[in-house]
Structure 1
Amino acid sequence: MFLNVHSSYSLKYGTMDISTIIAQARALNIHQLVLTDINNSTGATEFIRECTKQGIFKEADDVQKGNIPYQLKPVTGIEFRKDEKLLYLGIARNKEGMRELNEFLSYHNIQNIPLPDDAPNFKNVFIIYPFSKGFNKTLASYEFVGIRNKQLNHLYKHPLLQQKDKLVVLHPVTITDKITYRLHEYLRAIDLNTLLSKVPDEFKCSRDEFFVSEDDLKKYFDDYPFILNNTQKLINDCDLSAYFEPVIQSKNRFAYTREGADFDKVLLRRIAYKGLEYRYGKNNPVALERLEKELRIIEFKKYCAYFLITFDIVRYAMGKCKFYHVGRGSGANSIVAYCLRITDVDPIDLDLYFERFLHEKRTSPPDFDIDFAWDERETIQKYIFKKYPLGHVAFLGTMSTFKDRAIIREIGKVLGLAKDEIDSFSDPTREWLNLQNLTYKKIKLVHSMMREMPNQRSIHAGGILISEEPITYYTALDLPPKGYPTVQWDMYEAELIGYEKFDILSQRGIGHIREAVQLIEKNKGDVVDIHDFKTFKDDPKLNEILKEGQPIGCFYIESPAMRQLLKKLKCDNYLTLVAASSIIRPGVASSGMMKAFIERYHAPDKVVYLCEEMKEQLKETYGVMVYQEDVIKVCHYFAGLDLADSDILRKAMSGKYRSKLAFDELVNKFFISARAQGHSEELIQEVWRQISSFAGYSFSKAHSASFAVESYQSLFLKTYYPKEFMVAVLNNYGGFYTRWVYVHELQKTGAKVHLPCVNKSDDVVNIKDNDAYLGFIGVQGLENKFIEIIPAERRKNGDYLDLEQFVKRTQITLEQCILLIRLCALRFTGKDKKTLLWDIYTYLGHKKKKLNHAELFNSEHKSYSLPELENSQIEDAYNELELLGYPLNFNMFDFLKTNYRGDVMAADLHNHVGKTVKMVGNYVCEKTVHTIKNTKMWFGTFLDANGDFFDTTHFPNTTPMYPFKGKGCYLILGKVVEDFNFPSIEVLKFAKLDIYMNPVAVD
């Protein structure tokens, strides 16, 4: 009877989530309702699925008790609105009807065409117009008019009585009570960006839009039984049972080839065997046995097309585009993926379990994560969208929710509060004071109701769906700014529907590698096979540099925490790096397992294993569980569970298993099976304790291995081609650190780094021989068009000869030219900056008109003799600091008023362990952490005057509220401590040092 129910997916309008709607309906014994969210179908499949579950569970209960089973019939549709005005409801008669509605909305979303005032001619959809819309026509067979009980008195002698069979009950549901009506008002105010008191009534729902019992609803229409009959008939004619699936079926494209799934099997085997020879040679029985095992499972689970589509994407990238990629995640557990060159991780070499990726009992779909360079991913996305039919490929969506501080700001705005007051309410340090404030209490109450409600739809970082059926059977499509059709639900709903996403991701690290390889070939003629990983990992020079822990610019291993870990481990091999990539994660580190691993790594002979099975399976990591695969191995070899159940249990403990009953059964199975292996109860309990405490934050070994491969590739380039590599890092916008750190690192390679020059620089950094010129992109305030025009014009018509010619050829404006002059970018003229600044005013003055008027003759400006103008190094340094963000020809120590550079340098810290020392450090970065007592402490990273890194720890009892005061040099007094031969400073006193002021800024 309820044809117009809104969930919270009616963004900033509805107040109930799907489970609340179903619970309310069940409590009132409502048997039929239609979910019609505003201009979206986000919740449609979730609603159908949850209603089906409710019916099944209730039926089971009632059968036991001998009662009549409860059934809630789910029907879905869409409410179409334009400019906040209700146009009509579309209710799907069946699955085809839902597709029609989704395609109708998708067309208008993607084409950016306003919805029409009248609905089109649908075949499997009922259209319900509001009674307020005037009708002077005979309604079509699929068209109806919804009338609210308050509107019944308007029916007297109404023309619609001539079409009695077209009137149906319209009782919208948006809220649950008066409290949620107030929540609705806040949501509307936020959506309309206006004060709460200024939201027009017509933009809000009615106060009576809540569920009532079906009997009460019928009483409203006692005098109009034909309206009730029409409504019942309409809803009875709706059947969405085609969506009911007791077991989730894959919705992905069934076959990669035109010939179909059987030919896919043949093709996958052919490509995999060819790749097997490339990876392992002609006679490798271990690899062959593993390949056959995986192919059997892939064929059984019908994932041949998934592998082939991923292979096709990688083949296109490597072939036509010559792009470099990294396949990572659990997909690297697969030898088939390794042979198809989807990944570069050898699963046999690392003893990786395919069951971590796919097994016979797996119900949730796996996926590959394929990384490309940050500026190449779009090319791959275009290829995918062009290759597969329109309507069968779309981006995955995401649903952002209201977050704590964001909610407080939004609520404060609609209440008309001042910005300072709103900011004070968002300050956690003022919580005790705010609790005395009545306005704050009101905000907190609304906040508690709004928190985690859907706020807006967005686009997933890289997930793409390729569907067998038209995707519009399951969702309408949006067209976000990215320009590709996007589904209206997220990855979790996609998984529950049956979609395996293709993750096409990007990262800067791949850009570093790609450009470095190109620069090396261009400048030195060397062709680097960056995929020759087996050579890299065994290179003693690379492993020695890795051990030193100074891989600045190298993917994943350059951060302060990772550098410290590498030095503590004295990491000099691939397997240790793989482990380090996993134990660096916050969960492992905070649990104490990182420290335990380091201790055991340095004293393997002292490791005491719980039993022989644990020793056999965890000897590589010294008895410490480091990877998700370790959970699988222990469950399999210690407890005797099969590999499929072991992975399900691992996944369940990571919080990704929804059924507690099924989880409890697996835990019970673990204990029964472990006892059957002959283990003591005490041992089983201890092993289970270790598993359960670790599994929630474990990391896939395959994922760590993928990161480690890329780290070695970066390390190889930095070791043997350091200048080209650091230029590539700069041109791909660095990594963990700010830009000046990488410029400093480029200087350390011996390269002469120059300020931008209009006759030498390009848009990005370039290097030839030993000279590197910074690019125009790094100049703050320089407009994009001049970043492109200046080098392009020079390449086309030769070097600029003087300032006047530069101005005419580039059409540059006065303000933009001043930026370049201040940065010495026109030093080729031989004139100092002050003279050039004088000259530019004679050419451009304060006028903005163009100088290039297709002159027949080149007329030169008169020259004037100027007095000697003073230039200073400190002024130049401040110009560089302002326009580049860092001084190039100076360092921050040159700004100091004092010549003092500290008593101890970073390289000598290991000789002062236990002593209190005084140092001067140039601030690089900091990290804030919370202690167990919820107080703050900090970790700092600095460079000394010699350009070497050192690290500091700032404990709460020795540190002010916030010790750091931005970039600059700090005087540090602290105690030298050492942890596994890694020295650092425990800070006792800390202060920023005074600097010379900019002479231009001084009166």
Structure 2
Amino acid sequence: MLHANFVHLHLHTEYSFLDGACRIDDLVEAASRYKLPALAITDHGNMCGCIEFYKKLMHAAIKPIIGQEVYLAPQSRFDRKGKEVYYHLVLLVRNEKGYKNLVKLSTIAYKEGFYYKPRIDKEVLKEYNDGLIGMSACIRGEISYHLLRGDYDKAKKALLEYLAIFGKENFYLELMRLGLKENEIVNGGLLTLSEELGVPCVATNDCHYINKDDSESHDILLCLQTGKDIDDESRMRFESNELYLRSPEEMEQLFSDHPEAIKNTLEVADRCNLDFHLDEVKVQLPHYDVPEGFSSSDEYLEKLAKEGLKAKYTHIDEKIEERFNHELNVIKKRGLSGYFLIITDLVNFARESGIPVGPGRGSAVGSLVLYSLGVTEIDPLKYGLVFERFLNPERAAMPDVDIDFSDTRRDEVISYIKRKYGEENVSQIITFGTMAARAVVRDVGRVLKIALPEIDRIAKTIPFGISLKEAQEIPEFRNIINEKEEYKKLISLAMRLEGITRHASVHAAGMVVAPHEITEFVPLYRMPDGSFVTQYPMEAIDALGLLKIDILGLRTLTIIKNTIELLKRENKKIDIENIRLDDKKAFNLLSKGMTNGVFQLESEGMKDILRKIKPDSFTDIMAVLALYRPGPLGGLTKDSFIKRKHGKEAINYIHKNLEPILKETYGIILYQEQVMQIASVVAGFSLGEADTLRRAMGKKLPEIMDEKRKAFVEGALRRNYSEEVANRL
């Protein structure tokens, strides 16, 4: 495949919060269209999008170049005087050493240099520059700053300092032609410096959005960042609409008088060769000390799990033993015995400390080993739960264990983790708020100075959880938008910004525990309250193979504990671990929708379903929870389930072999486990392959769904199912 002869080396994604407007998915599409051989990410002051960027570009067969546009303090990063004072400097990663150094620099900027912005200085740059390429950045760069003020000598001095830090072969001067008169002044000086000192130039475009006509929506973004409206003459704005992802041909034409600046972008790209090896199974767990007498974590886990299995089952039949051994083998093969021991230790600490622990939630309850270890209290065999949904041997991803603790004592659990594994090795995890449909309409409307009652009227016609594109199918929304041209403009701009990352916050439950100091693996970010979180979100932490744990604080557990304590005072004892699950009085209350204060069952929508279904078994409660998900609520599943339960609709199975799988849900596919079991029984999928199908369906990944659909139909035909049955399923 022929590639373009140019690479964009200076680019801001949506993770340059309220400044960059390049969605990574859109970038990948544009880069593929332009046949770019590589592309760099250089967000302002953070690396938040680097792993997502890396993964998606690699998937598209485009080389990702990891970088950052850092803020540089003029003197010391510890200076805290005057207004915002800093220069810009672009750093690109050449190799693994460079990546680790950029992680260190990015963290230091937040931990030591934060003053309006996260800043480094030349002192730390001298210490952590190995494996990095430096570039002079935009007109806010130090060299450009002095050139704009006509001080060539200071610009030369600054350049010489950078050459001394990076080495002459690792520093480049950025030429930009963005339609600004300042660019031409700076470019003249940079070219003179280049000739005098033999420093190569690269052509860049300081990309902040993808298409030229995105400049107006980007301007709205800047207004949101600064809290200004569009008519404020004093607000920050870009005096150019040229900061877009120009095509390689445009860049070549723009710099036709300096072809070496175009060619040098390929040279830089060739020198940047960081490989995260994300396609390999990589587990980076903290060390777990096994007791004396055990040679490995595998051996110790097997001992604990076997003891727990015997305690859980009075009779261990062949089915139980086969499932147990299968899980244990997968865990050992994936190098995850330490992970299971760490989770077990954490739960044991909580229980021994009198901290209420939940019975388990999410896919983890599908593990017989976790049930044997006492981490979960749900028998996966009794409820037909599938291990591969929790830990798929065919997919290189870390398992995910969500654990509920009493909300008033969650901090004790977090403190224990920090004491046990080292405070410097543990961190909470970042998450990002995005501009959802309603919110972006309100934001853009305010910037455009549309009256608040009018904005409110429009926003309230948009149901929660749908996109603006989907909202246009709603007559009421469509009619209002057609009333005024300014409303049409509002929605047009809002659609361009919808879904873009707006701000960073702390994940409600996520913790990461690293084998060594956390900043050996991921950079840290400073929150407004002064606390620190990882710059990478959950998905990136998972991709790097680090241990992440969801430690949730659940009020219900506190209420249950307090209730038991109050009953004790009246000499009434309740064993919460062994309460009856067939209490008719309890089901009578549920059937009447009397569920105030009952976890997951107290919303008005949930009460409505309970009154209609009138549950009389524990499996009915499971069905109620599944039916309340957006999918069943939006279709006919809920109504059919209710009618079938009460004998008002016939129960039909697409094929008789599905009856054992779908009997308890009256012939309706309700659970993800049922999807996996059907794929296994009908198409002969392994449970690992069936889990891949389940994930593709849940995440609506069309490429994988199309691939698996074909495999499903072919597998079903091989197993003598008709083509009609296969296609219906």
**TM over 0.5, yes or no?**
yes
- Give, in whole Å, the separation in 2 of the partners of 1:215 and 1:549: 65
How far the C-alpha of 1:313 sits from its partner, in A, is 1.6
- Give, in whole Å, the separation in 2 of the partners of 1:671 and 1:254: 44
How far the C-alpha of 1:615 sits from its partner, in A, is 2.4
Q: Which residue of 1 aligns with 2:405?
A: 372
Structure 1 residues 325-336: aligned runs within 5 Å: 325-336=358-369
**Are 1:146 and 2:173 matched, yes or no?**
yes
**Are 1:107 and 2:115 matched, yes or no?**
no
Q: Which residue of 1 aligns with 2:575?
A: 529
Contact 1:39 1:80 (C-alpha < 8 Å) held by counterparts: yes
Structure 1 residues 872-951: aligned runs within 5 Å: none
- Give, in whole Å, the separation in 2 of the partners of 1:24 and 1:132: 30
Q: Which residue of 2 aligns with 1:649?
A: 693
Counterpart of 1:289 (choices 322, 331, 337) is 322
Structure 1 residues 715-794: aligned runs within 5 Å: none
SS at the partner of 1:239?
coil
- Give, in whole Å, the separation in 2 of the partners of 1:20 and 1:684: 35
**Are 1:238 and 2:272 matched, yes or no?**
yes
Contact 2:54 2:64 (C-alpha < 8 Å) held by counterparts: yes
SS at the partner of 2:296?
helix
- Give, in whole Å, the separation in 2 of the partners of 1:505 and 1:414: 37
Deviations 1:273-300 (A, max 9, x none): 2212322247555433332222112222
- Give, in whole Å, the separation in 2 of the partners of 1:175 and 1:555: 44
Deviations 1:308-364 (A, max 9, x none): 222122111111243333311111111111111211111222232223322322344
Give the percent of matched residue pairs that are identical in Structure 1 and Structure 2: 26
Of 260-269 and 404-413, the range deviating more from structure 2: 260-269
- Give, in whole Å, the separation in 2 of the partners of 1:575 and 1:434: 46
Change (3 A) 1:112 1:288: farther
How far the C-alpha of 1:531 sits from its partner, in A, is 1.6
- Give, in whole Å, the separation in 1 of the partners of 2:60 and 2:551: 37
Q: Which residue of 1 aligns with 2:662?
A: 618
- Give, in whole Å, the separation in 1 of the partners of 2:360 and 2:416: 18
Which blocks of at least 5 consecutive residues in structure 1 are unaligned? 56-71, 689-1003
**Are 1:631 and 2:631 matched, yes or no?**
no
Contact 2:47 2:67 (C-alpha < 8 Å) held by counterparts: yes
Contact 1:597 1:624 (C-alpha < 8 Å) held by counterparts: yes
- Give, in whole Å, the separation in 1 of the partners of 2:596 and 2:453: 41
SS at the partner of 2:198?
helix
Q: Which residue of 1 aligns with 2:282?
A: 250
Q: How many residues align?
A: 664
The amino acid of 1:531's aligned partner reads: E
SS at the partner of 2:550?
strand
Change (3 A) 1:164 1:350: same
**Are 1:438 and 2:495 matched, yes or no?**
no
**Are 1:306 and 2:318 matched, yes or no?**
no
Change (3 A) 1:567 1:628: same
Q: Which residue of 1 aligns with 2:220?
A: 186
The amino acid of 1:5's aligned partner reads: L
- Give, in whole Å, the separation in 2 of the partners of 1:519 and 1:593: 42
Counterpart of 1:175 (choices 197, 209, 217) is 209
- Give, in whole Å, the separation in 2 of the partners of 1:588 and 1:435: 33
Q: Which residue of 1 aligns with 2:244?
A: 210
How far the C-alpha of 1:442 sits from its partner, in A, is 2.4
How far the C-alpha of 1:38 sits from its partner, in A, is 0.7
Q: Which residue of 2 aligns with 1:491?
A: 538
How far the C-alpha of 1:578 sits from its partner, in A, is 2.9
Q: Which residue of 2 aligns with 1:576?
A: 620
SS at the partner of 1:465?
strand
- Give, in whole Å, the separation in 2 of the partners of 1:584 and 1:418: 37
The amino acid of 1:669's aligned partner reads: A
The amino acid of 1:76's aligned partner reads: I
Contact 1:164 1:226 (C-alpha < 8 Å) held by counterparts: no
Contact 1:268 1:308 (C-alpha < 8 Å) held by counterparts: yes
Q: Which residue of 2 aligns with 1:514?
A: 561
Q: Which residue of 2 aligns with 1:476?
A: 523
Counterpart of 2:17 (choices 11, 18, 22) is 11
The amino acid of 1:120's aligned partner reads: L
Change (3 A) 1:410 1:85: farther
The amino acid of 2:272's aligned partner reads: C
**Are 1:88 and 2:121 matched, yes or no?**
no
Taking structure 2 as the reference length, what is the TM-score of the superposition?
A: 0.80
Change (3 A) 1:52 1:653: closer
How far the C-alpha of 1:595 sits from its partner, in A, is 3.8
**Are 1:45 and 2:45 matched, yes or no?**
no
Aligned-CA RMSD value? 3.7
Q: Which residue of 2 aligns with 1:128?
A: 135
The amino acid of 2:561's aligned partner reads: R
Taking structure 1 as the reference length, what is the TM-score of the superposition?
A: 0.60
Contact 1:366 1:500 (C-alpha < 8 Å) held by counterparts: no
SS at the partner of 1:510?
helix
Kindly indicate whether structure 1 or structure 2 has the higher relative contact order, using CA contacts under 8 Å at least 6 residues apart. Answer: 2
Change (3 A) 1:632 1:208: closer
Counterpart of 1:449 (choices 496, 499, 506) is 496
Contact 2:712 2:726 (C-alpha < 8 Å) held by counterparts: no
Which blocks of at least 5 consecutive residues in structure 2 are unaligned? 1-6, 73-83, 147-153, 177-183, 462-475
- Give, in whole Å, the separation in 2 of the partners of 1:342 and 1:29: 50
Contact 2:105 2:120 (C-alpha < 8 Å) held by counterparts: no
SS at the partner of 2:242?
coil
- Give, in whole Å, the separation in 2 of the partners of 1:40 and 1:481: 15
SS at the partner of 2:339?
helix
Change (3 A) 1:283 1:220: closer
- Give, in whole Å, the separation in 2 of the partners of 1:430 and 1:566: 32
- Give, in whole Å, the separation in 2 of the partners of 1:568 and 1:176: 50
The amino acid of 1:188's aligned partner reads: L
Contact 1:547 1:567 (C-alpha < 8 Å) held by counterparts: yes
How far the C-alpha of 1:586 sits from its partner, in A, is 4.9
The amino acid of 1:128's aligned partner reads: M
Q: Rg: which structure is higher?
A: 1
SS at the partner of 1:12?
coil
Contact 2:13 2:20 (C-alpha < 8 Å) held by counterparts: yes
Q: Which residue of 2 aligns with 1:77?
A: 67
- Give, in whole Å, the separation in 2 of the partners of 1:106 and 1:360: 35
The amino acid of 1:208's aligned partner reads: E
